[in-house]
Structure 1
């Protein structure tokens, strides 16, 4: 392959030598070679090539005594190098859904038991994928169809009447639903959390700087190293600017100043401690995925009164709650409702 002799010796040394020492009363012991563990088992390793002919990958794999592989492949349960926009790439998730359903034998469970499983297990199976990839519409429809049939106790290839539309079941309990989280909303909420993490990571940065948003004002500032807290102060119960311009602000710079002050007046500032990102929908300022899922799904009525009457009561068994819900929805399989 054209590698230098020195480089080859370095690699061989890394692969063949493994030594360590331990601390005894705070002092390191003499180094000793590892007989087991901490070694690379080449027979269990795979070699991949990017932009390299398959024949070269095969030759290098034979040289290293490992396996030659190609993209896509699975690593830690996730497909690497595959096109996640294709339905075939999500076959693992769909197979897990069907496998769980076949194991549970939905016809042996009551409707409240199936409801509990949908809420806890079935809704969590695809989360590993949902947190990294945007699921195609066809996949979401297929998974929701599986959940819907399981809830009503149908077999996969069985066609029967759904007494309540699945969209109504996805509504919150305050909206006469059962509060089942939509898989589409869960997928979007998990991906949105990456934006939240991006904002929280101080090493990545906190977005665009004011000098980039308002370059004309930055050029007019006398002290280019001035801190933000020196220019925006809390005085007499209101936030005001304490600007220090080189000359009188006029024209387009005046428009920029108005836009800047309007921008700052819409923000909440922390007068004690470091600045942090805070999410208004959570009392602690955190980003809960479940609440975000409900907001995206529309299952949370932002204008609803906390004292709104709901059919659901935590004081009675779940099966009684579901029976009352079915009764109110006329979803009891009686002759009157089936006619």
Structure 2
């Protein structure tokens, strides 16, 4: 901390927390005498992650030094991809040394290291897993157990439906899974310089078939699973490829051809013939476009010295489209199409998915926050004639007298 120019007073505060920590052990429910913690902070101390970041910053500098003098060899993702010497997450660190074909874990159990060797995977949850989780929720809600399930008086799809569609608003686990995976589409577009994004681009990008969000079908793994959710979201009228648009300011974080900025459709799709003639297809807006007193100034780099007729037509259309835009000194910003504020949020996608393919009922149960939830749910079931009362079971009718049999 001294080398990182932290003031001495602040360092003394930190050291005081390290040396003054005391703890006791509960034996048969009674605490023992307190003793000093000789291993630093107590488990769960909120200061711990901050100190970890400081230590990892110093260790990262050391790793960069040993890599520069060839004592440690990095992972080479692809021939033109980024290099990685170590991975840090929370209070765990992995170091990979390809020179010795080894992987080491710091504060990591052996089986966790082996899992890292087998590649970390974050896929769309399988249907069987989602069904099993839904079954646990359903059994718990109706008061059953693993040994004995109870009668489900209302269909589960009706129960988890939004309140405005006559349900309880629990939401679907499948919808939550899709919404959280959709966030990776947003992050891929907006975090251009992040390490994980550069790794994905290096692995899945194909120079013969350009795509703004690339994926190689032949490569199994987490990214292929994330990309596959687009088809599921299309059923709810959510098109992830057209959902993320950039607002041009300085053009330093927007790819000229691959991002949606001048038009909802990326320029590499809208002007496909012209895109084929581009030499540097991943250039930013600032590399291709500038402004002076007379208006926009373009800087093109074509693969051929002269363009064909179709390319000339598309070039005129492109320049006319961009001529009405301006650039400033701020930062480019990104907009999410399916939110009124333009900000991506998982809850918003979950809400859209929960309402997809549902029909609004003619009459919706009105909830009252003053009434206890248990009582309100009984009334909700009673309105649908879904109570285990004698008149419902035998006659299939409902009247107010049935409520008195419930003793509520």
What is the TM-score normalised by the length of structure 1? 0.50
Structure whose residues are more often helix by fraction: 1
